[in-house]
Amino acid sequence: MIKRIFKPQRQSSQVINYVVLTLALLFALGPLVVLGFNSVKSTAEAMANPLGPPREIHLENYPNAWVEGKLSTTVRNSAILVAGTVAGVLVLGGLAAFSLSRLDPPGSNLFMLYMLGGSTLPTFLFLVPLYSLWRILGLVDTLFGLVVIYIALNSPFAIFLLRSYMVQIPRDFEDAARVDGASEIQVLTKVILPLAWPGFLTVGLVTALGVWGEFQVALIFVHVPDLFPVTTSYWYFTTRYSRDWSLTSAGAIMMIAPVLIFFFSLQRQFIEGLTQGGLKA
Partner 1 sequence: MTRLQKIRHWFRGPTFRKKILPWLLILPILLIHLLVVIGPSLGAFYYSLTDWSGIGAADFIGLDNFRTLVEDTNFRKAFSNNMVWSAFFLTVPFVLALVVASLLAGLRRGAMFYRATIFLPYVLPSVITASIWSNLMNPRLGIGAQLAKLGIPFLNRAFLGNPDTVLLSVAFIDNWHFWGFLMVLFLAAMQNIPPDLYDSAKIDGANRFQEFWHVTIPGIRPTLLFMFMMIAIWSFLVFDYVWLLTQGGPAGASDVLGTFLFREAFNRFEAGYASAIGLTMSFFAILIIGLFGFLRRRGWEI
Binders in 175-194 for partner 1, by CB under 8 A: 184
**Closest CB to partner 1 among 67 and 133?**
133
Q: How far is the CB of 263 from partner 1 (least distance, A)?
A: 5
Tell whether residue 173 is a contact of partner 1 (CB under 8 A). Answer: no
Do 156 and 115 meet the contact criterion of CB atoms below 8 Å apart? yes
Please tell me the distance from the alpha carbon of residue 122 to that of residue 115, in angstroms, as a whole number: 14
Q: Which x/- pattern over 63-102 shows residues binding partner 1 (rule: CB under 8 A)?
A: -----------------------------xx-xx-xxx--
Q: Which x/- pattern over 135-154 shows residues binding partner 1 (rule: CB under 8 A)?
A: x------------xx-xxx-
Tell whether residue 118 is a contact of partner 1 (CB under 8 A). Answer: yes
Tell whether residue 10 is a contact of partner 1 (CB under 8 A). Answer: no
Written as one string, the DSSP assignment of 71-91 is HHHHHHHHHHHHHHHHHHHHH
Please tell me the distance from the alpha carbon of residue 122 to that of residue 140, in angstroms, as a whole number: 21
Q: What are the Cα distances from residue 255, in Å, to 70, 114, 241, 247?
A: 12, 35, 16, 12
Q: Which x/- pattern over 216-245 shows residues binding partner 1 (rule: CB under 8 A)?
A: x--xx---------xxx-xx--x------x
How many residues bind to partner 1 according to rule CB under 8 A?
98
Q: What is the CA radius of gyration of the chain?
A: 23
When binding is defined by CB under 8 A, the residue of 176, 215, 240, 257 that contacts partner 1 is 215
Q: How far is the CB of 33 from partner 1 (least distance, A)?
A: 11
**Closest CB to partner 1 among 9 and 72?**
9
Please tell me the distance from the alpha carbon of residue 154 to that of residue 86, in angstroms, as a whole number: 9
When binding is defined by CB under 8 A, the residue of 35, 169, 177, 195 that contacts partner 1 is 35
**Count of CA atoms in the C-beta half-sphere (13 A) of 33:** 9
Interface stretch with partner 1, choices 20-28, 60-68, 160-168, 169-177 (CB under 8 A): 20-28
Which residues have a Cβ under 8 Å from the Cβ of 227 and sit 6 or more positions away? 77, 141, 142, 143
